[in-house]
A and B are shown apart, each in its own frame.
Chain A
Amino acid sequence: MAMTMTGEVQLPASREVVWAKLNDPEVLKACIPGCEELNKTSDTEFQAVAITKIGPVKARFKGKVHLTDLNPPNGYKISGEGDGGVAGFAKGGATVALSEKDGGTLLTYNVEAQIGGKLAQLGQRLVNGAAKKVADDFFRNFAATVAAPEGPVVAV
């Protein structure tokens, strides 16, 4: 089942700061809801483990995350695929673009994802709602981290 999601978030920091944090595994790990592990395996690749709960299905996804189209400090594409075992699978990516706005940075994202198995059976309404919540939580966490003087702030 395919789904798409777009959005933007205004961040109180320069593009360079935002870019650095977007590439910092510790920041990402702290901001991704349910993320248990995020280990850098190369400059552009990570191994990730995250727990996702959508309706009655709760699964620990294990997968790879890789970064492409790197264009510092303007943006990148972050893609990944995860295996949730009996819950199914998820794969997809997000194009992230950074632009200067109002003395800070406007981050826009464009997500395309596919899910399969039990997760897909849950239906579009539930899955889209859950995916939007994950994205909202991530960016709320990320905005808080970017605004903080140093180090990641865990909000969720």
Chain B
Amino acid sequence: MSATGIGAAVRRKEDLRFITGKGKYTDDVVRPGETRAVFVRSPHAHAKINSIDVSAARKMPGVVDVLTGKDLATDKIGNLICGWMIHSKDGTPMKMAPHPALAADKVCHVGDAVAVVIAETQAQARDAAEKVKVDYQVMPAVVDPGKAKSGPQIHDVAPKNTIYEWSLGDAKAVDAAFALAKHVTKLDIVNNRLVPNAIEPRVALAEYDAGTDQLTLWNTTQNPHVSRLVIAAFVGMAPEHKLRVIAPDVGGGFGSKIFIYPEEVVCLWAARKVGRPVKWTADRSESFVTDAHGRDHVTHAELALDASGKMLAMRVKTIANLGAYMSTFSSSVPTYLYATLLSGQYDIPQIYCEVDAVYTNTVPVDAYRGAGRPEATFVVERLVEVAARQMDIDPADLRKRNFIKSFPHQTPVIMAYDAGDYNASLKKALELADVKGFNKRKRDAARDGKLRGLGYSTYIEACGIAPSQAVGSLGCGVGLWESAEVRVNPTGSVEVLTGTHAHGQGHETTFAQLVSERLGIPFENVSIVHGDTDKVQFGMGTYGSRSGAVGMSAIVKALDKIEAKAKKVAAHMLEAAEGDIEFKDGKFTVAGTDKSAAWGDVSLNAYIAHKFAGQELEPGLKETSFYDPTNFTFPAGCHICEVEVDRDTGKTEIVNWTAVDDFGTVINPMIVEGQVHGGIAQGIGQALLEGAVYDKDGQLVTGSLMDYCMPHAHDLPSFQVGLTETKSPSNPLGIKGCGEAGAIAAPAAVINAITDAIGNEELGMPATAQTVWAALKRGQPRQAA
């Protein structure tokens, strides 16, 4: 391992500019003649729009134009779409309701945009927006997913507000297995709705060049090419080759910046209409009611076991709240990213899952760090923990008895796990967490009046998203391969163009480490280029912990081609047969001789082309690759959370956290550890602090950071992080992915620990002091089987 190669804890290249305020985010981009857009949004959760009067707003100082949903319809701008088709049990396709970028006839959630004001300055646009008069006819709203089917119908296409009623698995086989069970554990679970809160709010800046009929969009997106594809092919804004999408530095996404939102569509449309660049920057209040929310499941789950604790079958019924409209990938999250992971790390012969997805008068819900897999892990790991407690089996031991031990393993819910060693990560975690000493710590805590509890989460996730054929067969509208282009300059420095996108992951560092290792060139001589559809030909972006497993695999393939071509050049330079050329540590040698050529000489010769004829070899050194993975990857591990609960106040303190993860090959352990820390922090946020709350009329009452509690540093312990390694066989580097693991594992570990401490399994998230205190007061004994 070199100092900057694979496995080295290299400091992040990008941090210098981020930490010194030199990052360039979308809002930092300023175009000549730029105007500002402010949206007029619905204060009602559900209402008909009787009329919109923009005449007073138009007369306000600095106003360039005021546009409404009717104007949008007149210009035949298409609706936003959901790109993953799900069919119901009865074979009918999901009920995708029209989602115009500006509502024309009715509004379906608080924050739904009905008009946009374009003005010279932000302040003028805001002032004018106050003059837009909207006459609403307010209608009753529905916000609770459990009541959606009996609530007022939101969209004509979706009776009973039902988008689909989907299932996976063999219901009859599951029923038969349950009939034979000696023990059944049943749980009712609410997976709380979350607001993403990336530190950089969403921004869109659009510019139209009438001379070339070219539109350019600067946008806070995790996948500029997918954004361009949807805006071109479905919204119909412009042909793909006349639309350039640039995603400069992006300050956090967590899924919320995957999706194609109304605002970028409106800015593009308005820029062409007014003939000047149009910029919209969300404020935090706007982010709360427009960024797609996460989670929001209501679930009943049952686990059947035999007398020895062997798992026989699982049965899960979930209602998933998708909000007012179907966001870009919303349909896939509670189905193929959720039910397919219900086997956890366990050999469960039969699983059946039903998912009903419903519309409500709330902000659309879509992928949020983990996307479906945290919800699945929470169901599985709560069931297993409670089953162990009910059967009086040590929770670690019950897990061990049921772990999958041989690979490949076909689960009853589509996934074929290809590699893992679940016992290894459990064993290491038990040691790191000093579980043996827990009983003593518990007694010591009791003397201080504290209730101490221990909770496990042996999670699994499917990452490296994803084999295109596989996701295509499940309804995905796109392929999920990745592209890379490696450009070697004449002086030997290298630019890598990737179709992934970095918004905090550190690709400029890790991808450069790969190139440095493979080509034996200094890390500093490598640049990573991403986030511009004019530079990178196509790519699928970054989400689902895919950039290492899929994105770097594409770079590996392109580097293979570079090496092969460079060997040809070297053979001509060294006057040797191509087959005799060896390449190591940045040097080409002729086998069995002392003849050699340095990397820089070979790259220069590739371009000056003096040593070979054009008929023999093409000049230049640039190669492209598209890599499609052969399978998902399956990161897995064991997190152990230890808490102390104050019995008088219900306040929970996390006193120990141990995470042992198997991410396959690790490129940069420091960055991986950072990803684990961030993921756990988000998972703890969900478990203890965060929860989006709507009142019955559809007003978001946790609509600011005063009422929606994000985790702070003081809410978190120091994490003990360890790694085990089984390489993924489905990509050349053996990478599994690490971006989401913490957020997936953490909530179940926290709730398992608190319920252990307080002796009551009925505990909702977020487990605030008040919630825990109330559970302590209820003091119900554990549910008997």
A interacts with B? yes
**Chain A residues within CB distance 8 Å of chain B:** 1-2, 59, 85-89, 114-126
Cα A118 to Cα B41 in complex, Å, equals 9
Point out the residues of chain A lying under 8 angstroms from B707, CB to CB. Answer: 123-125
Which residues, 652 to 710 on B, are CB-close (under 8 Å) to A? Answer: 695, 697, 699-704, 706-707
Q: Is the CB of B40 within 8 A of A86?
A: yes
CB closest chain-A residue, reference B127: A86
Question: Using a CB–CB distance below 8 Å, which chain B residues touch chain A?
Answer: 40-45, 110, 126, 129-133, 285, 288-289, 695, 697, 699-704, 706-707
| Closest A residue, CB atoms, query B695 | A1
Q: Show 9 A/B contacts (Cβ-Cβ < 8 Å), sorted by A.
A: A1-B701, A59-B130, A116-B44, A116-B45, A118-B285, A120-B699, A120-B701, A120-B703, A121-B289
Contact B40 A121 (CB under 8 A): no
- The answer to whether B132 and A117 have CB atoms under 8 Å apart is no
Contacts of B704 in A (CB 8 A): 121-123
- Complex partner residue of A85 from B44, B132, B701, CB under 8 angstroms: B132
Q: Are A117 and B43 in contact (CB under 8 A)?
A: yes
Interface pairs A-B: 9 shortest CB-CB: A117-B43, A121-B703, A88-B43, A120-B699, A123-B707, A116-B43, A1-B699, A85-B130, A123-B706
* Distance A120 CA – B45 CA, assembled complex (angstroms): 12
Q: How far is the CA of A116 from the CA of B45 in the complex (A)?
A: 9
Q: A112 vs B41: C-alpha distance in the bound complex, in angstroms?
A: 25
For the A-B complex with A89-B44, A122-B704 known, give 6 more contacts whose Cβ atoms are closer than 8 Å.
A85-B130, A86-B132, A117-B43, A121-B699, A122-B706, A123-B706
Question: Are B706 and A89 neighbours in the complex by a CB distance under 8 Å?
Answer: no
CA separation between A1 and B43, bound complex, in Å?
A: 11
Bound: A116/B289 CA distance, A? 12
Q: How far is the CB of B138 from chain A (nearest CB, A)?
A: 9
Give every chain A residue within 8 A of B695 (Cβ-Cβ).
1-2, 120
Interface centre among A122, A123, A124, A125 (most CB of B within 10 A): A123
CA distance A86 to B126 in the complex (A): 9
Which residues of chain B are near A115, meaning CB under 8 Å?
Answer: 699
Decide if B110 touches A86 in the complex (CB within 8 Å).
no
Residues on B with C-beta less than 8 A from A86 are 40-41, 126, 129-130, 132
Given A1-B695, A121-B285, A123-B701, verify A116-B110 contact (CB < 8 Å): yes
CB-CB under 8 A from B699, the residues of chain A are: 1, 115-117, 120-121
Give bound CA distance, A121 to B697, whole Å: 13
User: Which residues of chain A are within 8 angstroms of B697 by Cβ–Cβ distance?
Assistant: 1-2, 114, 116
Q: Within the complex, what minimum Cβ distance (angstroms) separates A60 from chain B? A: 8
- Which residues from B are CB-within-8-Å of A89? 43-44
CA distance A102 to B44 in the complex (A): 46
Report the bound CA distance from A123 to B43 in whole Å.
14
- Chain A residues with CB below 8 A from B126, complex form: 86
Tell me if B701 and A126 are in contact (CB < 8 A).
no
CB of A116 to closest CB in B, whole Å? 4
Residues from chain B with a CB closer than 8 A to the CB of A119 are 43
Q: Do A85 and B131 touch across chains, with their CB atoms under 8 A apart?
A: yes
**B110 CB contacts on chain A under 8 angstroms:** 116-117, 120
Q: A60 — nearest CB in chain B belongs to which residue?
A: B130
Q: Name the distance in Å between A4's Cβ and chain B's nearest Cβ.
A: 13
Nearest CB of chain A from residue B669's CB, rounded to whole Å: 42
A86 to B125, CA, bound (A): 12
